[in-house]
Amino acid sequence: MTTSDSPPPAPGKLAARLSVVAAALMWSTSGLFAKAPLFDDWPKADRGLILAFWRAAFAALVLVPLIRRPKWNVRLVPMTICFTLMCVTYLTAMTRTTAANAIWLQATSPWWTFLLAVLIFREPVARRELIPLGFGVLGVGTILLFELGIHTRDHTPDTVGVLCGLGAGVSYACVVLFMRRLRDQTSAWLIALNHLVAVLGMLPWVVHLGIWPSPAQLAVLACFGVFQMAIPYVLVSRALRTISSQEAIGICLIEPVLTPLWVLLWGEVPAPWTIAGASLILVGLVVRYVVFEWIAARGRQRTAAAMDAQKRPVVSQ
């Protein structure tokens, strides 16, 4: 017997994978919204915070009604703080440096997750993480070395923007770690709470700044929050009922690859050193979430086949 509170049936594998592809495509449009000329009249120093506030506000409008069976846990406090920091630092990086720098520096979050899990939560070191971690360090090092040290006629380093991109990766890693430890809670509750607290946390600063969007800006911000933030989270949350988180993360590699392409519409081209560093980070991500997972899956298949062979009855001649 079904009730109104019963969860919808899990999607099939193809539908789940297509849902993650759609979510990654939507997430990749962050630069398209954040760098829209429509917001050029906002002060550059405050633009990231204002964008983060309105994006979270419109996302919360969609996500809050999806909350089911909320439960209190003290870990919710640091999780929501880290999420708010992630929103502000990422969009600040997006508005102060290139979209490629912002997304690829945030894409280092798996390596920060690994390091924080080992150093703070004393999780065992998985040797397979070390190779992709090395690629991640080389990629970030390449971006930081050139981005913070190169002064040319066409390029003036924005230290705040680059460091905010790095901070977005660290804060996102913290969100992942806290959500991992809150896995007994429903994902809709955690995601909606993150956005709601982010809105409340940023509200005093937005009121203090006194910068309010025009009707045209408000319409774009509504699309930013709903299309680029809320819907992708719903799609991935539903897809994870069918496919593994590793497979979902592998598919989501589409996002950092596409993000710099969207902003070509606004005439922004990534620097050569950003492309080089991003390529190293991408290699590390592919090794971790595609190659290693494929090897592990093959190993599980061989083990299962060997166990099946042992269970088969021996037919005497």
CB 47 within 8 A of CB 93: no
Percent of the chain, pLDDT > 90?
43
Q: Which of 140-149, 239-248, 279-288 has the lowest mean pLDDT?
A: 239-248
* For residue 232, pLDDT beyond 60: yes
Q: Give me 177's structure tokens.
A: 């770690």
Give the model's pLDDT for residue 4.
Answer: 46
Tell me if the pTM is above 0.75. Answer: yes
Give the model's pLDDT for residue 146.
Answer: 82
How does pLDDT run across 21-33, given as a tens digit for each residue? 999 999 999 999 9
Give the model's pLDDT for residue 107.
Answer: 86
Give the model's pLDDT for residue 3.
Answer: 45
Give the model's pLDDT for residue 150.
Answer: 63
Longest dimension (CA), the chain: 89
Per-domain residue ranges for the chain?
13-308
Q: Which of 230-244, 253-267, 291-305 has the lowest mean pLDDT?
A: 291-305
Give the model's pLDDT for residue 94.
Answer: 93
CB 62 within 8 A of CB 188: no
How does pLDDT run across 110-159, given as a tens digit for each residue? 888 888 888 887 878 777 778 888 888 898 888 888 877 765 555 566 78
Q: Which of 114-118, 163-167, 279-283, 303-307 has the lowest mean pLDDT?
A: 303-307
